[in-house]
Chains A and B, each alone.
Chain A
């Protein structure tokens, strides 16, 4: 009898437990759903905050460029700047010692703003080879196949007759997903993926196929450069003298000695140049090289040719490489530049080239055949920049790249896009974790 009662009490206990377990299960499932929803919401908000952090990083980069580059290149500016703080270009030269170049310590500095943070690296677009102006000889120095080079040249040049390994509409129109050849300059680097022979691996990954003539040195940080890091599609340099005044175009009609005096020529040297240009009978010179080769030029005149003359109208030139910012890999793509010369140029970068004639002090580049071969490829300035950004909110990261154009002293965004790869810091050669934290505003 007693035993029976005990059993009865036990079953009530079991029943109670079962009911309790049911209730707990319901509560847990509701809590889990809520937790998941909360997580989703907080992830979305982290992504938004990371994007906002990237936005503010871009504004920070623009401000830095406005203060350093813009101030030196403002319209009609004499080069004197009135920026309140920091080192600004005292000339139109754009060097790696400028504030824009040191901002963010190449991505190694994290700027903390409350609960979000960002990292910045600004690069000079003119430190790269411009695919829109690069000659066949220059492209051949890049890790590209002969087919890729032919196709790239066919893509950007007018006309419908393809090169031997190239491709025009007759090829592109026959693709499974057809389109037309651009027949004009590339707008972005990823436009390469539309050109026959180019795959994402060719553009974004370290070239595995080194069978081409290219055997370029590694970047300063030891990484093998990819096409995406060696090349650009948008790079301009201002056509100004170091005092900010416009260069004198030797191809202008009725060139006179007084005009040349504005570029720093003495009367005798100016007459030599005017005589040479008159002998051209209206045919424009395509390079400054023939001027450098004139006999009886004074050393001052050689400097004046480099610093004060140009061969085309317009206040800027496309596709020049900035001596102050280029890597040895990019310098070596230029015909005539040997590994030694490239090395010597890069060593001089810590000091900076303030004017183009400073190149004459680089071993191997005195006024001679090598200099004449490369002189039209170089500059010491730039007005186009690439900004790499990372916006972070907690573990969420947004990687972005923007192209900035500094025109009339004002930096403007030309393109901005989110990067497709998840591992951009590594691809950019950044430290996984920055060594320096700069708190702009503490967390509240």
Chain B
């Protein structure tokens, strides 16, 4: 009987209010935590995407540059390494603002429009795709399906495309297999990274950083030992710098390359 009475007794207003308050507090706290963690997760995702975009861009440039090849045989005009500006004479980063100099990098990409922003070079050992390797077709069908593969390829990197009908931006890559000795044109052009808004290439000759390099005119066919790439993505206002060592270079501090620049 006593139990029955107790069972039928409702909750008091105070109890209800306390219960409501607790529920509200818990909901608010956990909701807030959820929102924070979701937005944090979102920011992390964006950060990761940005980082992986930069990493894959840098790795792409790295693998291209480290395959750089210039035939030691001077009669071979089909191999070269030319770095500079697509038009006009380039100056080194930091020098346009009247400060800095060789070896120091006090300048930024916004210093002036004279930064060396294009590079044309020849590479060997371009990786063959699995489709090419597994193909059981004959030579002509392979040529038709995959284009020419093997040997020395010419790679041109530039912010301006050859004969661009407009509407494209970013860093363009022109790839020609086999390299034909004409470094101004040929092959297929595509966008390597649509996000790059500014880029600069500088060349280390063993003792100094140089804004240009040209194995076709500088008398020796030697390569820079390091290439410093400074770039900026459209959505990002920071300069990113990375360096690539050229394995085929013999330039050292005791045996630097004479660059006529």
Q: Does A5 contact B (CB under 8 A)?
A: yes
Question: What is the 8 Å Cβ interface bit string for chain A, positions 53-82, against chain B (1 contact, 0 not)?
Answer: 000001000000000000000000000000
* Docked pose: A402 CA to B66 CA in angstroms: 12
Q: Are B55 and A44 in contact (CB under 8 A)?
A: yes
A294 within 8 A of B: no
Tell whether A191 is near chain B: CB-to-CB under 8 Å: yes
Q: Beyond A179-B180, A418-B63, is A196–B41 a contact (Cβ under 8 Å)?
A: no
What are the interface flags for A177-203 relative to B under an 8 Å C-beta threshold, 1 for contact and 0 otherwise? 101101011111011111011111100
Chain B residues with Cβ under 8 A from A415's Cβ? 67, 69, 124-125, 248
CB pair B7 A5 closer than 8 Å: yes
Shortest Cβ distance from B56 into A: residue: A44
Q: A residues touching B (Cβ–Cβ < 8 Å)?
A: 1-2, 5, 23, 26, 30, 33-34, 37, 40-41, 44, 58, 175-177, 179-180, 182, 184-188, 190-194, 196-201, 204, 401-402, 405, 410, 412-418, 420-421
The answer to whether B150 touches A417 (Cβ under 8 A) is no
**Neighbouring A residues of B12 by C-beta, 8 Å:** none
Number of chain B residues close to chain A: CB under 8 A? 51
B241 at the interface (CB under 8 A from A): no
Of B71, B75, B79, B150, the residue contacting A193 (CB under 8 A) is B150
CB-based contact A30/B139 at 8 Å:
no
Starting from the known contacts A182-B151, A405-B72, A412-B250, 5 additional A-B residue pairs (CB-CB under 8 Å) come to A175-B143, A177-B148, A186-B151, A199-B139, A420-B133
B37 on interface, CB distance cutoff 8 Å: yes
Q: How far is the CA of A371 from the CA of B244 in the complex (A)?
A: 50
Minimum CB–CB distance from B251 to chain A (whole Å) comes to 11
The answer to whether B150 and A190 touch across the interface, beta carbons within 8 angstroms, is: yes
- With A415-B248, A417-B124 given, is the CB distance from A199 to B138 under 8 Å? yes
**Complex alpha-carbon distance, A197 and B139, angstroms:** 5
Q: Which of B44-52, B84-92, B113-121, B199-207 contacts A (4 or more CB under 8 A)?
A: B44-52
Q: Are B66 and A416 in contact (CB under 8 A)?
A: yes
For the complex, what is the distance from the CA of A175 to the CA of B178, rounded to whole Å?
A: 14
Residues from chain B with Cβ under 8 Å of A185 in the complex: 73
Contact yes or no, A187 B152, CB < 8 A? yes
Encode contact with A along B111-149: 1 for CB under 8 Å, 0 otherwise: 000000000000011111100110111111011100111
* A264-B237 Cα distance, complex, nearest whole Å: 73
Contact in complex: B44, A37 (CB < 8 Å)? yes
Contacts of B144 in A (CB 8 A): 175-177
Q: Are A200 and B128 in contact (CB under 8 A)?
A: yes
Q: Which residue of chain A has the shortest Cβ distance to B188 in the bound complex? A: A177
* Residue pair B178, A199 in contact (C-beta under 8 Å): no
A414 to B13 Cα, complex, angstroms: 88
State the CA gap A439–B147 with chains docked (Å).
Answer: 45
Does A416 lie within 8 Å of B45, measured CB to CB?
no
Known contacts A187-B124, A418-B63: does B152 contact A199 (CB below 8 Å)?
A: no
Whether B41 lies near A33 (C-beta < 8 A) is yes
Residue pairs across A and B with Cβ atoms less than 8 A apart, 20 shown, are A1-B7, A30-B37, A30-B38, A37-B45, A37-B48, A175-B140, A176-B143, A177-B148, A186-B151, A190-B150, A191-B150, A191-B152, A199-B136, A199-B139, A410-B250, A413-B248, A415-B125, A415-B248, A417-B125, A420-B127
List residues of chain A with CB within 8 A of the CB of B125. 188, 190, 401, 415-418
Contact of A420 among B76, B128, B140, B248 (CB under 8 A): B128
Given contacts A30-B41, A33-B41, A402-B247, contact A40 B151 (CB under 8 A): no
B148→A414 contact, CB < 8 A? no
| B61 within 8 Å of A (CB atoms) | no
B5 → chain A closest CB, angstroms: 12
Kindly state whether residue B20 has any CB partner on chain A within 8 Å: no
B243, chain A: closest CB distance, angstroms? 13
User: Is B180's CB under 8 angstroms from A201's CB?
Assistant: no
Q: Which residues of B contact A40 (CB under 8 A)?
A: 48, 52
Which residues of the partner chain B approach A193 to less than 8 Å between Cβ atoms? 128, 149-151
B139: chain A residues within 8 A (beta carbon) = 196-199
**In the complex, B34 has a CB within 8 A of chain A:** yes
Known: A33-B45, A37-B44, A177-B143. A413 touches B247 (CB 8 A): yes
Closest 3 CB pairs of A and B: A417-B125, A193-B150, A191-B151
Hey, which chain A residues are within 8 Å of B152, CB to CB? 187-188, 191
A182 to B148, CA, bound (A): 13
On chain B, the residues within 8 Å of A413 by CB distance are 247-248
Give the residues in chain B near A190, CB-CB below 8 Å. Answer: 124-125, 128, 149-151
Instruction: Kindly state the separation between the CA atoms of A200 and B63 in the bound complex, as whole angstroms.
Output: 22
Name the CB-closest residue of A to B69: A415
Chain B residues with CB under 8 Å of A204's CB are: 133
A410-B7 Cα distance, complex, nearest whole Å: 97
